[in-house]
């Protein structure tokens, strides 16, 4: 086109597009859910703006917040239109030509090596998936602040933008036209698209329509039946008009030449609604199936692997602050969950106020250590028409947060309670055997392996819920037989007269098992917990006691095993310990003492009660070097 301005894609975008185009990926379907998800985001944005300024919605059809899909079999075009916020010329250049996110290169690399295009939506580059099925794409967009523009690209490293002087005005919003490749003609089938919308986009909160054909019987005059069929199949105009015409025509026919008519099949078109817009979280949990929850999870997490969430909790909070929420434990921790734990605010809850999407960037809803959860909150109490900043400071948020934490921890506790593997050590009778035992089996270990670190971080960060979190803690010990065990189980195995919970920290279980610190404890049949994660050292600075029992690091001074008396020994070895203390440079050791912690090993170096453990020294050293 003459007036088109040419642009080059950012290098990473070009590479990404190459990967997509050359992908042999079988699941090309994902492009549709990415487009619908973008349309839905754009609709959320305009609806949010309209809360404070009704004018932005415009009038007539422009104000309708919906998504429309149309198929043009002749031209092989699939188009998707929304009346969302639209894009200005600037937006088109920026949003559909560059990726501003950090880690883009690494991401593109990873996509190339893994070939997993499912990552595309999660990283926020879903738009480019259109090139899985199209070789030429037009994006027509109208934003309230700008004229209507067309963005177009054949994925050849460049795109062009022109002021739109030839298409029908959109009013507001975006229409995406995919010129489908020869191998992707299946996406011109209505049935295929209906199936995909059902599969991927059921929980989009805006109506999704398809311009669907319908066979109807009409009566036509018996003598002029040659061309009527063709005329009626043209898809111009809306269905209502079409039907009205038919109705008029047949009335006329009836009246004038009743005897000379016959029935023929005729194709008409109308907008067919494909989704149920009633938000799933408004329904009673009893009416929602497991499959529906799984689908809701997948659409929230943009994770479309076949894995189901590990657990979910759907509840209504009543009282001063009313809200509904659904929380999910994902089947896997996201790659960067702990990598960027302290430098990013990753809120994973969507906040709605009375069904209107407000934000997914609220980090006040959940504490950091629970940021691995996905879900949504729909509040009836929060005010609708205030700015995000003001909402952020609203006092109700504190109450919501408190309740969400409680529910989240309950949900996690239930994973353990329902896991038959977890009941070892419990009374046999307590173990229920139900049909879905198999499904629940090993789920808590799975949870622990993915998110155990978050629980530990929680113990460090959240004093209020420390005890609840400690209950969720799992570890190996001298008696756990290679399996994970809990503090409750440890306590149930404590010897009579044992006061403290014994633990030792180090780099690995293998190393710790050989430790001289354990000799005597083992011999006397005391259980000792192995803490081998670097975070455990910090953890144990915060976890002082559990169920009235103190924690005792067995490599530190002050270890008391049972009620042994060593006063006499101390006395009779006084000379030796004195000599020893003097023999060693005095600033190397604090004290030389008689100990009952050893069995075969003659002596051992322990750290003072209040100082760092040797393992902590090691960790600190590795951090400063």
* 420, 441 contact by CB (below 8 A): yes
Nearest-approach distance from CB 81 to ligand ADP, in angstroms: 9
Residue 127 labeled ligand binder: yes
Nearest-approach distance from CB 237 to ligand ADP, in angstroms: 25
Residue 242 contact partner, candidates ligand ADP, Mg ion, none, CB within 5 to 8 A by sort of partner = none
Question: For the chain, how many residues are written?
Answer: 625
As a whole number of angstroms, the distance between CA 43 and CA 45 comes to 5
Stretch that binds Mg ion, among 34-42, 44-52, 471-479, 608-616 (CB under 5 A): 34-42
User: Virtual CA dihedral for 554, 557, 562, 566, nearest 10 degrees?
Assistant: 140
Cβ proximity to ligand ADP: between 136 and 551 the closer is: 136
CB contact set of 163 (below 8 Å; sequence gap of 6+): 3, 147, 148, 149, 150
Q: Which residues bind ligand ADP (CB under 6 A)?
A: 34, 38-39, 41-42, 82, 84-87, 95-96, 124-127, 174
- The β-bridge relationship of strands 374-379 and 349-353 is parallel
Residue 541 labeled ligand binder: no
Residue 452 contact partner, candidates Mg ion, ligand ADP, none, CB within 5 to 8 A by sort of partner = none
Residue 157 labeled ligand binder: no
Residue 82 labeled ligand binder: yes
Q: Please, how many CA atoms are within 13 Å of residue 179, restricted to the half-sphere of its CB?
A: 10
3-class SS of residue 141: strand
Radius of gyration (C-alpha) of the chain in whole angstroms: 33
Residue 367 contact partner, candidates Mg ion, ligand ADP, none, CB within 5 to 8 A by sort of partner = none
As a whole number of angstroms, the distance between CA 517 and CA 599 comes to 9
Residue 95 contact partner, candidates Mg ion, ligand ADP, none, CB within 5 to 8 A by sort of partner = ligand ADP
Cβ proximity to ligand ADP: between 121 and 242 the closer is: 121
Which regions of 45-103 does DSSP assign to beta strands (E)? 67-72, 77-82
Contacts of Mg ion in 100-159 (CB under 5 A): 126
Nearest-approach distance from CB 35 to Mg ion, in angstroms: 8
Residue 87 contact partner, candidates ligand ADP, Mg ion, none, CB within 5 to 8 A by sort of partner = ligand ADP
- The answer to the question of residue 38 lying near Mg ion (CB under 5 A) is yes
Residue 39 contact partner, candidates ligand ADP, Mg ion, none, CB within 5 to 8 A by sort of partner = ligand ADP
Residue 388 labeled ligand binder: yes
Cβ proximity to ligand ADP: between 37 and 381 the closer is: 37
As a whole number of angstroms, the distance between CA 591 and CA 573 comes to 14
* 448, 474 contact by CB (below 8 A): yes
- Under rule CB under 5 A, how many of the chain's residues touch Mg ion? 2
Cβ proximity to ligand ADP: between 110 and 403 the closer is: 110
Nearest-approach distance from CB 126 to Mg ion, in angstroms: 4
Nearest-approach distance from CB 299 to Mg ion, in angstroms: 12
As a whole number of angstroms, the distance between CA 190 and CA 489 comes to 58
Buried-state track 496-517, b at ≥16 Cβ within 10 A, e below 16: eebebbbbbbbeebeebeebbb
Residue 458 contact partner, candidates Mg ion, ligand ADP, none, CB within 5 to 8 A by sort of partner = none
Residue 458 labeled ligand binder: no
Nearest-approach distance from CB 60 to ligand ADP, in angstroms: 20
* 178, 153 contact by CB (below 8 A): no
Nearest-approach distance from CB 178 to ligand ADP, in angstroms: 13
Nearest-approach distance from CB 536 to Mg ion, in angstroms: 39
3-class SS of residue 318: coil
- The answer to the question of residue 201 lying near Mg ion (CB under 5 A) is no
3-class SS of residue 616: helix
**DSSP-derived secondary structure for 15-58:** HHHHHHHT---S-TTHHHHHHHHHHHHHHHHHHHHHHH-GGGG-
Residue 558 contact partner, candidates Mg ion, ligand ADP, none, CB within 5 to 8 A by sort of partner = none
Phi, psi of 68 (to 5 degrees): -125, 135
- The answer to the question of residue 84 lying near Mg ion (CB under 5 A) is no
Query: Which residue ranges make up the site for Mg ion (CB under 5 A)?
Result: 38, 126
Annotated binding site for ATP: 34, 38, 82, 87, 95, 101-103, 122-127, 174, 388
């Amino acid at each position: 086109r003459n007036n088109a301005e040419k642009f080059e894609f950012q290098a990473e975008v070009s590479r990404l597009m190459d990967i997509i185009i050359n992908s042999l990926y079988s699941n090309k379907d994902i492009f549709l859910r990415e487009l619908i998800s973008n349309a839905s985001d754009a609709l959320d944005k305009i609806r949010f703006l309209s809360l404070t300024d009704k004018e932005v919605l415009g009038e007539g059809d422009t104000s309708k917040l919906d998504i429309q899909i149309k198929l043009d079999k002749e031209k092989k075009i699939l188009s998707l239109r929304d009346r969302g916020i639209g894009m200005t010329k600037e937006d088109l250049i920026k949003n559909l030509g560059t990726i501003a996110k950090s880690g883009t290169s690494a991401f593109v690399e990873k996509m190339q090596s893994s070939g997993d295009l499912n990552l595309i939506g999660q990283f926020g580059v879903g738009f480019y998936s259109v090139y899985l099925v199209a070789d030429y794409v037009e994006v027509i967009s109208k934003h309230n602040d700008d004229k209507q523009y067309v963005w177009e690209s054949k994925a050849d490293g460049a795109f062009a933008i022109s002021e739109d002087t030839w298409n029908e005005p959109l009013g507001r919003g975006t229409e995406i036209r995919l010129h489908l490749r020869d191998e992707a003609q299946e996406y011109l089938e209505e049935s295929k698209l209906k199936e995909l919308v059902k599969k991927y986009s059921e929980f989009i909160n805006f109506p999704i329509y398809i311009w669907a054909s319908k066979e109807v019987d009409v009566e036509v005059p018996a003598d002029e039946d040659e061309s009527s069929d063709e005329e009626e199949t043209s898809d111009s105009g809306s269905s209502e008009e079409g039907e009205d015409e038919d109705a008029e025509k047949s009335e006329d026919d009836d009246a004038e030449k009743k005897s000379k008519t016959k029935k023929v099949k005729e194709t008409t078109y109308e907008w067919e609604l494909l989704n149920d817009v009633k938000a799933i979280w408004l329904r009673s949990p009893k009416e929602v199936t497991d499959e529906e929850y799984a689908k809701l999870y997948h659409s929230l997490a943009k994770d479309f692997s076949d894995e189901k969430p590990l657990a979910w909790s759907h509840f209504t909070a009543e009282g001063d602050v009313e809200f509904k929420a659904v929380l999910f434990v994902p089947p896997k921790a996201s790659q960067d969950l702990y990598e960027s734990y302290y430098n990013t605010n990753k809120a994973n809850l969507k906040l709605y106020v009375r069904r209107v999407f407000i934000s997914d960037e609220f980090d006040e809803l959940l504490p950091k250590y629970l940021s691995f959860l996905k879900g949504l909150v729909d509040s009836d109490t929060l005010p609708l028409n205030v700015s995000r900043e003001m909402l952020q400071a609203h006092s109700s948020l504190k109450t919501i947060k408190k309740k969400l934490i409680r529910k989240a921890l309950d949900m996690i506790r239930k994973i353990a309670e329902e896991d038959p593997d977890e009941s070892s050590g419990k009374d046999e009778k307590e173990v229920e055997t139900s049909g879905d035992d198999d499904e629940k089996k090993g789920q808590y270990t799975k949870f622990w392996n993915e998110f155990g670190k978050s629980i530990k971080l929680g113990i460090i960060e959240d004093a209020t819920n420390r005890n609840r979190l400690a209950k969720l803690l799992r570890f190996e010990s001298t008696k756990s037989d290679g399996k994970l065990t809990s503090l409750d189980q440890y306590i149930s195995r404590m010897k009579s007269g044992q006061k403290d919970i014994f633990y030792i920290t180090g780099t690995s279980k293998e190393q710790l098992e050989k430790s001289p610190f354990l000799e005597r404890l083992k011999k006397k049949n005391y259980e000792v917990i192995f803490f081998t994660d670097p975070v455990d050292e910090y953890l144990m600075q915060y976890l002082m006691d559990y169920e009235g029992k103190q924690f005792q690091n067995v490599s530190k001074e002050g270890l008391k095993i049972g009620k042994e008396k060593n006063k006499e020994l101390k006395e009779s070895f006084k000379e030796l310990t004195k000599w020893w203390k003097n023999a060693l440079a005095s600033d190397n050791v604090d004290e030389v003492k008689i100990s009952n912690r050893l069995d075969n090993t003659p002596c051992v170096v322990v750290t003072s009660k209040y100082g760092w453990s040797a393992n902590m020294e090691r960790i600190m050293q590795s951090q400063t070097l």
